[in-house]
Amino acid sequence: MNEGLTLPLSSVNEAAMSELSSKEKAAFRNTAQRLKPAILVGKKGITRPLITEMDKALATDKLVKVAFKADREGIATLVEELESKTHSLCVGGVGKRRIFYKDSSEET
């Protein structure tokens, strides 16, 4: 999807994933600024096909931008659900877009 994208901190291992430092998260947010949303979470919310596509995108790119159609209050719940179902980590976002990271060497 995002061919040629190099992540500045690709050495983050799965044990430290939930403990990314603020510098690491900032580096991922900086890298993700030029990405377009690869996944759109619409009115139906989080569905099985959406999880499948998100897993594929994370396996390919490690860093995926997701756009939400929900209201801002509902986004927090959807983010938590996406994190748990895809075993990824939300590293930031603005408005109705969030950036998810998953180390490609991590097993689900």
φ/ψ region of 4 (left if φ > 0, alpha if ψ in -120 to 50, else beta) reads left
Span 32-57, pLDDT tens digits: 888 999 999 998 999 999 999 999 99
Question: What is the residue range of 25's domain?
Answer: 20-101
Considering its fold, how many domains does the chain have in total? 1
Residue 108 has a pLDDT of 45
Please report whether residue 108 resides in a domain. Answer: no
Spatial CB neighbours of 8, under 8 Å, sequence gap ≥ 6: 27, 28, 30, 31
Label residue 11 exposed, middle or buried (CB < 10 Å: 0-12, 13-18, 19+): exposed
Q: Taking all residues of the chain, what is their mean pLDDT, rounded to a whole number? A: 82
**Taken in order 57, 77, 31, 18, is the CA torsion positive or negative?**
negative
Please report whether residue 78 resides in a domain. Answer: yes
Who has greater pLDDT, 13 or 89? 89
CATH code of the domain in which 97 resides: 3.30.110.60
Please report whether residue 90 resides in a domain. Answer: yes
Please report whether residue 36 resides in a domain. Answer: yes
